[in-house]
Amino acid sequence: MEQQKPSLMWWIKILPLAGFLIFWEFASRNIERGVFYYGSPSSVFNVLSERAANGSLLKDTSVTVFEVVIGFLIGNILGTLLGLLFWYNRYIAVLARPYVLVAGSIPAVAFAPIIILFFGIGIGSKIALVVFSTFVVATVQAFEGAMQANPNYIRLMQSLGATRWTIFTKVIVPSSLVWLFTGFKLNIGFAILGAFIGEFISSQAGLGHMIEIAKGLFNTPAVLAGIAMIALVSVCLNACITFIQRKLIPWEYESNQMNQ
């Protein structure tokens, strides 16, 4: 691989985006009430810079990020522990699996009204919604990852006389990491959705709140500014997870690189 390639690829990647933004700006300026209906890159930028200056953007973003991160951590940690526990004890798995799968088939946001009833309209209900949204995916991924562990690795451990706990720590946990991280990445989207829905229904701050208010005022640029910030949060969280993934499971990343 040459050094030149990545930067060229980078330029090619942003080309469609740049083209789209230019077209959007141009078109919305030349259509009657274009900016009102469709917004425009410059109007979105104006909203962002205005709100960055008065501090409301930072406040809304940090509220949402806080809800997402805390809920994400709780949901994924609990889900992962439960999923791995399913491997460890098949009786629990047999008992709990149908419940988890049914719970997983219900959109977590459908619970939003009840959760808000329980946890109030403050930040607690948003965190709870994020936990609900991410928990099932984490559980399923952890259990599947554990079940996908190479059976010959387990046989090797058994031939050495290892206990189930040793097999769990030395084989099951490391080999399910790849699955866990796939789940974590999926869950970024679910976590943001959970927080957003919570804020959208009732809240005093957050990006969902910002969009909800802007919607009421027919302020399309502000709605789009909120969406842009949500996308930014999502991209940043994804980058964090990828960074941790490379640190924690370098073998997977490196062997993938070699296969390319």
Partner 1 sequence: MTNIEFNTIGLRIGQVSIIKDISFSLKNGEIVGILGPSGCGKTSFFNILSGLIPQTEGSILKDGVVVADRAHLCSYMFQDDLLFPWRNIYDNVLLGTEAVKPDALESRKADATRLLRLFGLKDFSKKYPHQLSGGMRRRAAFVRTLLNDDRELFLFDEPTAGLDHLLRLQVEDTLFHFLMENQRTSLVITHDVETAVALVDRVFIFAPRPAHIAAEVQIGLARKYGSPTAARTSSEFGDTFQFVLNSYMKHGTAETLPNVVD
Burial-class residue 228 by CB neighbours within 10 Å (0-12, 13-18, 19+): middle
Q: Which stretch binds partner 1 (CB under 8 A): 71-79, 81-89, 95-103, 247-255?
A: 247-255
Scan residues 113-152 and list those touching partner 1 (CB under 8 A): 150, 152
- Cβ atoms 136, 86 nearer than 8 A: no
CB of 5 to partner 1, least distance (A): 23
Please say which residue, 29 or 155, places its beta carbon nearer to partner 1. Answer: 155
Say if residues 71 and 135 touch (Cβ distance below 8 Å).
Answer: no
Q: How many CB atoms lie within 10 A of CB 1?
A: 7
The 173-202 site mask, x for binding partner 1 (CB under 8 A), equals -xx-x-------------------------
Closer Cβ to partner 1, 94 or 248, answer by number: 248
Which residue, 100 or 149, has its beta carbon nearer to partner 1? Answer: 149
Q: How far apart are CA 161 and CA 80, in angstroms?
A: 27
Cα 154 from Cα 132, distance rounded (Å): 33
> Which residues within the stretch 150-169 sit at the binding site for partner 1 (CB under 8 A)?
150, 152-153, 155-162, 166
Alpha carbons 132 and 62: distance in angstroms, whole number: 21
Nearest distance from C-beta of residue 199 to partner 1, angstroms: 39
Q: Which is nearer to partner 1, 78 or 162 (CB)?
A: 162
- Closest approach, Cβ 177 to partner 1, in A, equals 8
Does residue 88 bind partner 1 (CB under 8 A)?
no
Q: Using CA atoms, how far apart are residues 16 and 118, in angstroms rounded to an integer?
A: 46
- How many residues interact with partner 1 (rule CB under 8 A)? 24
Minimum CB separation of residue 81 from partner 1 in Å reads 20
3-state secondary structure of 217: coil
Tell the smallest beta-carbon distance from residue 183 to partner 1 (Å). 18
Where b means 16+ CB within 10 Å and e means fewer, 133-152 reads bbbbbbbbbbbbbbeebeee
C-beta neighbour count of 154 within 10 angstroms: 17
Q: Determine the length of the chain.
A: 260
Minimum Å distance from CB 162 to partner 1? Answer: 4
In the bound state with partner 1, the residue whose beta carbon lies nearer, of 91 and 165, is 165
Which residues of this chain interact with partner 1, rule CB under 8 A? 150, 152-153, 155-162, 166, 170-171, 174-175, 177, 249-252, 254-255, 258
